[in-house]
Amino acid sequence: MPGYDGLFRGLFDDASLFPPAALPMADAVTGHLRHEAAWYCDMSGPFVCADTRISVLSSALAAANAAALDLALVLPGGAAGLDAALDAVSSDSRLRLRAVEVPISAAEADARVATAELAAALDRVPLAGATAFIEIPPGQLSPETLRIAAERRYAIKLRTGGVTAAAFPDEMTLARCLTLLAGEWQAFKCTAGLHHAVRHRADDTGFEHHGFLNVLLAVAAALDGASPADVADVLADQDASHIAAAIRDLSPAAADEARGLFVSFGTCSIDEPIGDLVTLGLVSER
């Protein structure tokens, strides 16, 4: 099996500010600094923060005496806030902008038009080397919307869960997305719902959650030419030992290709995925 340095490096974006964790800013920043100093630091990605909370983040960094922080800037309200948000980030030298994540407009019925409008808005602002992610609802992802993003070299963001059952795309919907992304060689990240390594039903809500290792294996299968139905079967697998064995069996080339597309996912608790990987025997504390 490839070492975790390659397979899991930077996989877990720290979204602890967001539900269901929804930590206070000071606690979220303290937790992020702990992850950066931990044995699994290479697997921890940037700190995810909404544009409306950048000033609060700056204050928390000052209180924590933090020298710097890698930031994934999210704009839940859409592209209208881009200029002000980027100005706020650039005014704090401790914030290193790594990603900008913006959803297409829900008010525009045509996803192609909404994607083109958002791409044009991103074209007009200085991203300073940060990766821009265009969030498109899984049911609206299409070759046309992908092409618009790819022409500008923007990546895709897929919402894989939330606080309602409807926020979780079913296996076939997600499989079609992954097959399309693999076919177009389009990088993407996921957000929400991927709380654990393997697909499961949550005890508290009853929601069916996709597993992040299932998604990784599904991407590898799609890149290998699997049909959407076969990719959906990988997403539906709830056998933890089978999933772990399949991860171990990935060749270094297949692992690199899969991670080339599946960039990362936002998780409200980095401790949970790390704990799962340890339990499955895929990583160990150094």
CATH number of the domain that 141 lies in?
A: 3.20.20.70
Q: What is the DSSP string of 10-57?
A: T-EEE-TTSTTT---HHHHHHHHHHHHHSTTGGGEEEEEEEGGGHHHH
Give the per-residue pLDDT at 81.
95
Burial class (CB in 10 A: 0-12, 13-18, 19+), 202: middle
Q: Would 286 be classed as within a structural domain?
A: no
Give the per-residue pLDDT at 203.
87
**pLDDT values of the chain reduced to their tens digit, one per residue, 286 residues:** 444 557 999 999 999 999 999 999 999 999 999 999 999 999 999 999 999 999 999 999 999 999 999 999 999 999 999 999 999 999 999 999 999 999 999 999 999 999 999 999 999 999 989 999 999 999 999 999 999 999 999 999 999 999 899 999 999 999 999 999 999 999 999 999 998 999 999 988 999 999 999 999 999 999 999 999 999 999 999 999 999 999 999 999 999 999 999 999 999 999 999 999 999 999 998 7
Q: Would 284 be classed as within a structural domain?
A: no
Q: Kindly report the backbone phi and psi dihedral angles of residue 135, in degrees, each rounded to the nearest multiple of 5, phi listed first.
A: -85, 120
Number of neighbouring beta carbons within 10 Å of residue 91: 11
Closest CA to 261 of 226, 208, 221, 209: 221
The domain tally of the chain equals: 1
How far is Cα 4 from Cα 40, in angstroms, rounded to an integer?
10
Q: Would 55 be classed as within a structural domain?
A: yes
How far is Cα 286 from Cα 39, in angstroms, rounded to an integer?
6
Give the per-residue pLDDT at 1.
42
Closest CA to 131 of 10, 275, 20: 10
Q: Which domain holds residue 100?
A: 4-279
Give the per-residue pLDDT at 5.
54
Q: Would 31 be classed as within a structural domain?
A: yes
Closest CA to 12 of 225, 272, 235, 202: 272
